[in-house]
Amino acid sequence: MKRLIFLPLLLLWISFKLSAQSNKPSLFINCSKECYQDFLRTELSYFDFVRDRFEADIQILIIEQEQSNGGKQFTLQFKGTNDWQKINDTLIINIKQAATPDDVRVKIAQSISLFLMRIVPIKYIPDNAIVQFPKREINQIDSIKDKWNFWVFAPGVEGWAEGGTSNRWAGLKSDITIRRINSKSKFIAKPYYNYFSSFIKLDSTRLTGQAIDYGINLLHAKSINQHWSAGAILQYGYNSFLNISNTIKAAPVIEYNIFPFSINTNKQVRVAYQLGVNSFSYFDTTIYNKLNEVRPYHRITLNIEYNRPWGSIMAGVYHNAYLDNYNQNRTGFNALFALRLFEGFALTFEGQGFYMNDQISLLKNSLSDEAYYLGSQQLPANFNYEINFGIRFTFGSIYNNIVNPRFNNIE
């Protein structure tokens, strides 16, 4: 009898709008893989999201696992602190193998909304239930009181090494990202330092080499309206691999989004144009007999992002050229497609590449043997590309409720 009573609940389509109130928890999304944080912050803008779990009233831990038939299971663990410390619940979402990224992110957002509503006990939440919280206006989000005034600092360092008896390769990458972002403006500063070293032993000959590059990138963007943005970039760099002892790049930038930015998690088509100057000082004379030069340049970029139930598309193309010699130019692309063409059939494509005729810093003199073998100096090239694609067709049982991690990652 109990089962008959609750069966209608499992088929109920819930649509509920919560009136605004001040006593609502702050949230932190914690995940190690892709969990669509931009989309979740947009769809759940009624709540405040914080950047650190120690600052949150409720932490939402999202865990992804593979299922027996190629699908995925997402475990959402809700852990409360402060006034919400009694909250300690878990919600499980099963995703079909053929689901697109849009299917996944919508389901995660719906499930988090259902939990926060607490209309029915967690175990009785129906698969097709939807809860809709009122979205705050952008100016309400910007008016949040923050002791850091929205400044965020993120230093990072990573290294790697590999080798054997007669060779060794090692690298170090470090940077700190300093950013302040709100709905009206974006500022990002990123100083960086990278180091690469290599060693090869050929019979009795030892070859060693290294490459260093460091600098800082600055970006500022200002919102004009729902479609237009304007700003500037400023960059300084040192790069021994490219024969550049110092370079400075400065340019104003303007960007137009065909769609309003208020729906940017669903679709974007952005065209950006920059017109500026780039100065160079070289360690050694280039193939164009230069030790110093200042070059005017321009660059146009097209970025597309589209998320629909049938799949997701992210792609970009760009073209930049020196205005005093348009033959010195570069054109490139990057793309990521994940398409579900019909039930059980999925097509993926990922690639990037460029054609270049702008290696103005190439050395005039012949490279040493060490540079060739160790990769410590750039070589002449016209193009570079990397492409991955796949087709997958799944059929058989429609059930994918089982998660069995035994022997995962065993080779």
pLDDT, tens digit, 9 for 90 and up, residues 135-180: 766 666 666 777 888 888 889 999 999 988 888 889 999 999 998 8
pLDDT classification of 131: cutoffs 50, 70, 90? low
Cα–Cα–Cα angle for 212, 218, 221, rounded to 5 degrees:
150
pLDDT, tens digit, 9 for 90 and up, residues 224-240: 998 999 999 999 999 99
Here the tokens at position 115 are: 């939990």
pLDDT classification of 5: cutoffs 50, 70, 90? very low
pLDDT at 70: 64
Predicted model pTM: 0.70
pLDDT at 18: 40
The more confidently predicted of residues 7 and 381 is 381
Of all residues in the chain, what percent carry a pLDDT higher than 70?
Answer: 80
pLDDT at residue 292 is higher than 70: yes
pLDDT at 172: 95
Burial 131-141 (b: 16+ CB within 10 A, else e): bebeebeeeee
Q: In what order do the strands lie in the sheet with 48-49?
A: 48-49, 26-31, 58-66, 72-80, 88-95
Q: For residue 172, which of 214, 222, 229, 205 has the smallest C-alpha distance?
A: 214
Coil/strand/helix, residue 131: coil
pLDDT, tens digit, 9 for 90 and up, residues 311-328: 778 899 999 999 999 999
Average pLDDT of the chain, as a whole number? 81
> Quick check: 230 and 221 in contact, CB under 8 A?
yes
Q: Which domains does the chain have, with CATH numbers?
A: 2-135 (3.40.50), 150-393 (2.40.160)
Q: For residue 39, which of 307, 411, 405 has the smallest C-alpha distance?
A: 307
pLDDT at 139: 66
pLDDT at residue 126 is higher than 80: no
Coil/strand/helix, residue 320: strand
pLDDT classification of 243: cutoffs 50, 70, 90? very high
**CA of 147: how far to CAs of 144, 150, 151, 152, 189, in Å?**
10, 8, 9, 11, 20
Return the minimum-mean-pLDDT range out of 41-50, 115-124, 207-216: 115-124
User: Which of the 8 DSSP states describes residue 183?
Assistant: S
The more confidently predicted of residues 14 and 187 is 187
The more confidently predicted of residues 7 and 411 is 411
Sequence-separated (6 or more) residues with CB below 8 Å from residue 198: 167, 168, 169, 170, 208, 209, 210, 374, 375, 376
pLDDT classification of 4: cutoffs 50, 70, 90? very low
Mean pLDDT across 333-362: 85
Here the tokens at position 271 are: 């065209």
pLDDT at residue 215 is higher than 60: yes
pLDDT, tens digit, 9 for 90 and up, residues 260-275: 887 776 788 999 999 9
Here the tokens at position 16 are: 């509920």
What would you measure as the largest C-alpha separation in the chain, in angstroms?
89
Q: For residue 97, which of 404, 408, 396, 336 has the smallest C-alpha distance?
A: 396
pLDDT at 369: 67
